[in-house]
Structure 1
Amino acid sequence: MQLHCIDTGVVDADDATRPLVVLHGLFGSADNWRSPIKQWQQTRRVVAVDLRNHGRSPHAPGMRYAQMADDVAESLDALEITQFDLLGHSMGGKVAITLARQQPQAVASLIVADIAPVAYDHGHDEIFAAMRRVAEGEPESRREADALMAESVEVAATRQFLATNLVRDDAGILRWRVGLDEIADGYADIIAAPDGEGAYPGPALLLRGGDSPYVRDAHRDAVAAVMPEATWQTLEGAGHWLHAEQPEAFLQALSRFFASL
C-alpha cells in the first residue's frame, strides 16, 4: 500500500545527505511533526509518513508491524529513496525497528523515540470510548467534540491531540479521519513486539522521556538484542510525547547523533 507522505523534497541536487524518514505513533500523523520538519528541511530532505489507517493514508484491515513496514518500504520505493535515516515514535518506533530488521542495508541509522521492542499490556480503552462517543454524537464544533471526549478522557492535552484527527464532512459534521474500526480490530498487534528476526546492526539511538513509563531499565536486554549498537538518552522533564514536550532537547539529541555518524 502506498501511503500519504509530507515530502520536503531535495534541498540541493548536489547534496549527498540522506533523507530523514519520520514515522508517527498511534493516533498521530505526519502533521504532528511539522514543527521539527521546519528545522530539518533546512539541511536535508524529510519524508514524514502517514501510516495505514492514520492521517491521509488509506484505511485497510491489519495492523501488524510487518504490514506497516511493507507499506513504508513501498512508499519509499515510489519516491525512489533507497537509503535513509529512520526515526519512529511509539508505534512508529516499532514500525521503524521492523523495517530496519527487514532492510538493514536501506536504513543507514535508526532513532527510536520512547518505545521498547517488547509487548505491552497497557490499554487505550478510555481513548477508544472517547472516539466512539464523538463518532456517535456527530458534533458540529470542536467544543462539542471536546465535551464528548471529556466523558471518558480527563486530560485536556490528550483530547487536544486526538482532535487533530477530526475533519469536517460535507454536512459540517466532525468525523475521525483515522480508521477507527481497523485500529481497534488490530489493537492486539499494535501492543505486540515488533516483527522481524535478528538484530539491526547499524548505529541507533534510543530516546526516552524521563517521565515516561514506556522505556525502563528493565528493557535494556530486549533493546540490546534488537539494536545492539544503540545509545540510550533520557530527556528529563519529558513524557511519552517527548518531541512535543521538550522540542529543543529532542532536536539537539538528534543533531548530536547525526554528527557522530
Structure 2
Amino acid sequence: MLLNYKTYGEGLPLLAMHGLMGDKDNLAFLKNAFDGQYQKILIDQRNHGDSFHTYNMNYSIMAEDLFNIADHLEHDSVYLIGHSMGGKAVMEAALQHPDRVEKLIVLDMVPFAFPYRYVDYMEAMLKAHEKSFMTKEELKDFLLNELHEKAPFPFLAKNFSRKPPYRCRMGLKELLANVDHIFEELPKGRTYSGETIFIYGRNSFMMQYLDEEKIKEYFPMASFHYVDSGHLVHLDKKEEVLSLLGDFLL
C-alpha cells in the first residue's frame, strides 16, 4: 500500500518525512522552497495523518514506504529529508539503498537508541479517542487532566478529526505496540557515503544523545550544523534552516 502524500512544485524529487505524532503538514515549510528545482513530496507516515494503520512498523518497513512512493512516481533516485522519527526513517532508507539516495538531510535526530518519549501523550489520546467527545472543550479538559496540565493541546488536537465526534486520526494502538521499534538504534555495519547534512537545535533534548564521530560511522560524509532552537528546528528557525538547505541542495 502507498502512504498518503502530496506534491509541490516541479524538479528533482525531494521526499519529506515528519516525526512521531505529526503529519505531512509539519514539513509545510518546504512547500514553496526551491521552486523550479525540486519537487517536494510531503508524506504522511504509516499510522499518521491520512495514511493507513498497521501493526507492521519498524524503520526497515518505513524506509521501504519511501521507495514505494519513489517507484510509484517513477524516480530511480531521490533526495531525502526527515525530522525526528522521519529523520531516522530517511537514515535507514539511505543505509538500505545508498545507490538510490542522491543527498540526505536529517533534522534533529540521531541513529541511536534513546528513552521513550510521548508515550504518555499517546496513551491519553487513545483514552480520548475511545470517549469520542462531542466538543473541543471536553477534549481539551480531558487531555489536560490526564496529562496534568502539561499537554501541548494545539499539537495534540491536530491529530483529531475536525468535526465531532472527535476521534484521533493516528493509529495509536499500533504506535504504542511499536514503541520499542520507534526508539531503537539503527543496525550498525552499514554506511551511506553520499552527501549528508544534520541540523540540530542547540536547546533540543536530542543534544544529549548526539555523538558526531559515532554518526560518521554510518554517514562518513556528514556535516553538522546547529541553530538556536529546540527540537522543532524547521519551525523555530525556518529561514536559517532553509538557508542551510539551500546551500546544501542548490
> TM-score, normalised to structure 2's length?
0.92
Shift of 1:174: 0.9
Q: Please say which of residues 128-137 and 49-58 is displaced more in the overlay.
A: 128-137
Equivalenced residue count is 249
> Which residue of structure 1 aligns with residue 107 of structure 2?
113
Which of 204, 223, 233 does residue 242 from structure 1 map onto? 233
Q: Secondary structure at the match of 1:39?
A: coil
Distance 2:42 2:210 in 1: 31
Partner of residue 13, structure 1: none
Matched, 1:254 2:227: no
Contact 1:117 1:222 in 2 (8 A): no
**Which residue in the other structure is 1:63 paired with?**
57
Amino acid aligned to 1:242? V
Q: Give secondary structure in 1 for the equivalent of 2:38.
A: coil
Amino acid in the other structure paired with 2:107: A
**SS of corresponding position for 2:230:** coil
**Residue in 1 aligned with 2:77?**
83
Distance 2:227 2:93 in 1: 25
Tell me which moved more, 224-233 or 123-132.
Answer: 123-132
Q: What is the rounded CA distance, in whole Å, between the counterparts of 1:144 and 1:36 in structure 2?
A: 34
> In the alignment, is the contact (CA less than 8 A) between 1:118 and 1:222 conserved in 2?
no
97, 112, 119: which one pairs with 1:103?
A: 97
Q: 2:161 & 2:100 partners in 1: Cα distance?
A: 35
Looking at structure 2, the residues matched to 204 and 142 of structure 1 have their Cα atoms a distance apart, in angstroms, of: 42
2:2 is paired with a residue whose SS is: coil
Offset of 1:185 from its aligned partner? 0.1
Q: Which residue of 1 aligns with 2:166?
A: 174
1:253 to partner: Cα distance: 1.3
Alpha-carbon distance change, 76 to 142 in structure 1, aligned in 2, over 3 angstroms: farther
Alignment counterpart, residue 25 of structure 1, candidates 9, 19, 25: 19
The aligned counterpart of 1:141 is 135
C-alpha distance in structure 2 between counterparts of 1:55 and 1:196, whole Å: 31
Percent of aligned pairs sharing the same letter: 30
- Residue number in structure 2 paired with 1:2: 2
Shift of 1:76: 1.5
Is contact 1:53-1:183 (8 Å) kept? yes
CA RMSD of aligned residues (A): 1.9
Among residues 205, 218, 241, which one is paired with 1:213 in the alignment?
A: 205
Tell me by how many angstroms 1:141 deviates. 2.7
- In structure 1, the partner of 2:87 is 93
CA deviations on 1:66-105 (whole Å, 9 max, x unpaired) are 0111111112211112222100100001100110011111
